[in-house]
Chains A and B, each alone.
Chain A
Amino acid sequence: MKKFAWLLTLVLALSLVLSACGAGATPTPAPVEKFRVAVVMPSAINDLAFSQSMYDALVRVQKDMGGPDKFEIVYSENMFVVDDAAAAIRDYATKGYDLVIAHGSQYGSSLQEIAPDFPDTSFAWGTTVDTFGLPNVFAYEAASQEGGYVNGVLAAALTNTDVIGVIGPIETGDAKLYVDGFKAGVLSAKPGAQVNVNYIGSFSDTALAAEAATTHIAAGADILTGTAQMVVGAIGKAEEANVLWFGTQSNQSSLAPKIVVASQVYHWEVVLKQMIDLIQGGTLGGQSFTANLANGGEVIEVNPDSNVFDYAKPLAEDTVKGIIDGSIKITLP
């Protein structure tokens, strides 16, 4: 035991020496203009779903603001371990980023603790409306039930068998909102339609999602939808069976151009730009934002390559308009 205590002391001493060397090298101060953003995400930036939607939005903001010299983006993806994400958030805050985005509902607890320690840093938490009453925390969410509703209306109009299948990961949060909205949309247009919902219990089991799609199709569904990154398997099966697909979170047309009718795409930049303006004006938090159809935070991108485009586009636009001007009311279970 003594040897290890000795060893540990040696290791510690070495670390102090090395960190002193490290501390000596100060980073060149960034030009005052540059806005620096760090984002922590629970899945991959190319998951064609949740995390990608945020990363793509940040890239768009970067372009609008003048490129990497004016807008710096750093990220930590695949942070599904809440504890590691907390360490990441704290680390980025320590490094002086202007805005640290915690893009995952599971990060809330951590943020609640960390934010008060960094009063000069602005934090953003999605997807929720809770800012904990803290002056430097923004909250944002997507009214995914709105886009879900539109997709549902379109699906109801396009189905021939009146059976529609839904594939979800876990029955909570953003996924549940979308699914509930979708179901409401279908039933509003076709009250007699059958909407079969299936939660496969995981965000990553692509094979099970694919088999769920096959099961839906065997049960008579001629239209499918789903949310979260494992649905890429389901989309493939839909394409094989020539079944139409509605996507959410990101534009999924690239995966199956023939059968993807429309996707609800999150344009988080609408929300981000508001936050950035506020931050540059001195307000670091205390507000919550909702990305919805009205403010362009959610956009129904109808796939121009699908052969029902001419029919779907006007119907989508009408439904969106109805939701925006309030003539269509979405009631969730």
Chain B
Amino acid sequence: MKKVFESEWVSRLIDGLLPVFATLAALLVGAVMLLFLKVNPIEAYKALWVGAFGTSNAFAETLVKATPLLLVGLGICISFRGDVINIGGEGQMIIGAIVATWVGLTFTTLPGWLVITLAMLAGFAGGAVWGGIPGVLKAYFRVNEILSTVMMNAIAVQLMNFLLRGPMIDPAQAELASKIPQTARLLEIFRLPRLIPTRLHLGALIAVILAVLVYILLWRTTLGYRIRAVGQNPHASRYAGIKVPRYIVLALLLSGAFSGLAGATQVFGVNYRMITDGSASGFTGSAGFNGIVAALFGQLHPIWSIPASILFGALLVGANSMQRVVQVPSALVIALNGLVVVFVVSSEIWRQKRQRRRLSVARQDGDSPPPADEQPVPHTEAGT
């Protein structure tokens, strides 16, 4: 029996489940808060579960929520492994969405599948530009990416507001006195197909396929190898002849591109138009930040990011459902979200300790050491 528990397989499974245990611990603290609010925690958490997984519709909602998380997360996998911190996901999503929407509203005479493809590429490109700018600023002008991406986020919001109430406003709205800042609706044929009767759209499948592609990119191509090399040791990489600045730019550019695509899929799969309430999160749902969390829950691995995004998406969707059922203030949901993030990220240490123990045990037993792709720790590069 002991052999079973000591077996590598079970051990790694427990590692993978650590975030789940941490989440449960956070929810336990949340239960205390619920009690203070005179809400039955069991009733509340049952609502959370049902809201995320209870019906096929709920599960579809979870997947819809997870899609932008996964896409942003894929970009984060790339950037963090290139040792750049990209917290500009919000702005990149917005810009990608704007460009994609523009394509969808302008090329109305082309066939549906062509427009969708062009729009997705446009979203990818838009986000790439918005991520590439901080990349260039960091690589060639030594402007730290945390600063530039925070600023670019704010700039993107203002740009969105300006465009949506001005040049890109729905002609129908421009007539009305209410002038809602939104674009016209995308034609039926331009929308991403859905798995009726749910809201699950093709974007989810696109995201999963891309996850596999990103995995291939990072570990099976020279480009990916170089990004990771620059991320782990820029000095050694430079001596090895890798043009470091170029790969810094690429890391941020690709990362931004995926966030841009996330924005495009939100427009083409969920909202069918671009609309703003003046803030970034009104459109993005904070996917630009939550995607970072999801990627980290997935150990910055594109494939693990898939279940990580689903579980995190489930938490978000379920918590909103819980809010409705037991009528707690949405503020509690946000605080709970924060607790989960802190707890899960804190549980990392146990995963690392266990991994190290396994390594040393393996060495003692004379087994070959497991693949040493330790999770990289992103840090601001010395010299920026």
Give the complex CA separation of A80 and B279 in angstroms.
Answer: 8
A4-B307, A92-B324, A109-B271 are contacts. A203–B279 as well, Cβ < 8 Å? yes
Q: Which residues of A contact B282 (CB under 8 A)?
A: 42, 80-82, 106
A15 interface neighbour in B49, B178, B185, Cβ under 8 Å:
B49
Q: Which residues of B contact A75 (CB under 8 A)?
A: 327
A87-B317, A106-B282, A201-B161 are contacts. A22–B275 as well, Cβ < 8 Å? no
Within 8 Å of chain B (Cβ to Cβ): is A189?
no
Name B's interface SS: helix
Contact B320 A202, beta carbon cutoff 8 Å: no
Contact A173 B285, beta carbon cutoff 8 Å: no
A18-B54, A91-B324, A171-B165 are contacts. A203–B180 as well, Cβ < 8 Å? no
A3-B12, A109-B182 are contacts. A76–B323 as well, Cβ < 8 Å? yes
Within 8 Å of chain B (Cβ to Cβ): is A172?
yes
A88 interface neighbour in B52, B286, B324, Cβ under 8 Å:
B324
Q: How far is the CB of A134 from chain B (nearest CB, A)?
A: 15
- Nearest A residue to B164 via CB reads A172
Contact A84 B320, beta carbon cutoff 8 Å: yes
Give the complex CA separation of A112 and B182 in angstroms.
Answer: 14
- Nearest A residue to B162 via CB reads A171
Q: How far is the CB of B91 from chain A (nearest CB, A)?
A: 15
The number of chain A residues with a CB under 8 A from chain B is: 54
Within 8 Å of chain B (Cβ to Cβ): is A56?
no
For B281, B329, B330, the residue with the greatest tally of chain A CB atoms inside 10 Å of its CB is B330
From A6-14, A213-221, A232-240, A319-327, give the one contacting chain B: A6-14
Q: How far is the CB of A71 from chain B (nearest CB, A)?
A: 15
Q: Which residues of B contact A92 (CB under 8 A)?
A: 324
B283 interface neighbour in A74, A82, A86, Cβ under 8 Å:
A82
Give the complex CA separation of A55 and B298 in angstroms.
Answer: 41
A1-B303, A4-B304, A11-B53 are contacts. A202–B180 as well, Cβ < 8 Å? no
Give the complex CA separation of A130 and B185 in angstroms.
Answer: 14
Q: Which residues of B contact A57 (CB under 8 A)?
A: none
Within 8 Å of chain A (Cβ to Cβ): is B142?
no
Within 8 Å of chain A (Cβ to Cβ): is B278?
yes
Chain A window 260-271, contacts with chain B (Cβ cutoff 8 Å), 1 for yes, 0 for no: 000000000000
Q: Which residues of A contact B195 (CB under 8 A)?
A: none
Give the complex CA separation of A99 and B284 in angstroms.
Answer: 28
Q: Which residues of B contact A19 (CB under 8 A)?
A: 49-50, 53-55
Q: Which residues of A contact B281 (CB under 8 A)?
A: 80-81
Q: How far is the CB of A202 from chain B (nearest CB, A)?
A: 6
Within 8 Å of chain A (Cβ to Cβ): is B270?
yes
Contact B273 A109, beta carbon cutoff 8 Å: yes
Within 8 Å of chain A (Cβ to Cβ): is B17?
yes
Interface set, chain B 114-147, CB cutoff 8 A to A? none
Within 8 Å of chain B (Cβ to Cβ): is A141?
yes
Interface set, chain B 307-350, CB cutoff 8 A to A? 307, 310, 317, 320-321, 323-324, 327, 329-331
Contact B275 A82, beta carbon cutoff 8 Å: yes
Within 8 Å of chain B (Cβ to Cβ): is A128?
yes
Contact A18 B275, beta carbon cutoff 8 Å: no
Q: Which residues of B contact A141 (CB under 8 A)?
A: 178
Give the complex CA separation of A91 and B57 in angstroms.
Answer: 10
Chain A window 88-115, contacts with chain B (Cβ cutoff 8 Å), 1 for yes, 0 for no: 1001100000000000111011100000
Q: Which residues of A contact B246 (CB under 8 A)?
A: none
Bin chain B's interface residue count.
35 or more
Give the complex CA separation of A75 and B329 in angstroms.
Answer: 9
Within 8 Å of chain B (Cβ to Cβ): is A47?
no
Within 8 Å of chain A (Cβ to Cβ): is B79?
no
Give the complex CA separation of A4 and B310 in angstroms.
Answer: 12
Within 8 Å of chain B (Cβ to Cβ): is A204?
yes
Q: Which residues of A contact B329 (CB under 8 A)?
A: 77
Within 8 Å of chain A (Cβ to Cβ): is B46?
yes
Within 8 Å of chain B (Cβ to Cβ): is A162?
no
Q: How far is the CB of B121 from chain A (nearest CB, A)?
A: 23
Contact B324 A109, beta carbon cutoff 8 Å: no
Give the complex CA separation of A206 and B349 in angstroms.
Answer: 40
Give the complex CA separation of A161 and B251 in angstroms.
Answer: 57
Q: How far is the CB of A110 from chain B (nearest CB, A)?
A: 8
Interface set, chain A 108-131, CB cutoff 8 A to B? 108-110, 117, 127-130
Q: Which residues of B contact A22 (CB under 8 A)?
A: 46, 50, 54
Contact B271 A3, beta carbon cutoff 8 Å: no
Q: How far is the CB of A117 from chain B (nearest CB, A)?
A: 8
Chain B window 49-84, contacts with chain A (Cβ cutoff 8 Å), 1 for yes, 0 for no: 111111100010100110000000000000000000
Q: How far is the CB of A289 from chain B (nearest CB, A)?
A: 14
Within 8 Å of chain B (Cβ to Cβ): is A187?
no
Give the complex CA separation of A106 and B279 in angstroms.
Answer: 12
Contact B54 A127, beta carbon cutoff 8 Å: no
Q: How far is the CB of B64 from chain A (nearest CB, A)?
A: 8
Contact A77 B54, beta carbon cutoff 8 Å: no
Task: Pick 21 A–B contacts, CB within 8 A, sort by A.
Answer: A7-B17, A18-B53, A19-B49, A22-B54, A78-B330, A80-B277, A82-B271, A82-B275, A82-B282, A86-B270, A91-B321, A91-B324, A106-B182, A108-B182, A110-B271, A127-B178, A170-B161, A176-B179, A177-B177, A202-B279, A203-B278
10 more A-B contacts (CB under 8 A) besides A82-B282, A108-B182, A109-B272? A1-B303, A12-B53, A15-B49, A87-B320, A91-B51, A105-B178, A141-B178, A170-B181, A176-B179, A332-B177
**Which residues of B pack against A, CB within 8 Å?**
9, 12-13, 16-17, 46, 49-55, 59, 61, 64-65, 157-158, 161, 165, 176-182, 185, 197, 266, 270-273, 275-279, 281-286, 303-304, 306-307, 310, 317, 320-321, 323-324, 327, 329-331
**Which residues of A pack against B, CB within 8 Å?**
1, 3-4, 7-8, 11-12, 15, 18-19, 22, 42, 74-84, 86-88, 91-92, 104-106, 108-110, 117, 127-130, 141, 145, 169-174, 176-177, 201-204, 332
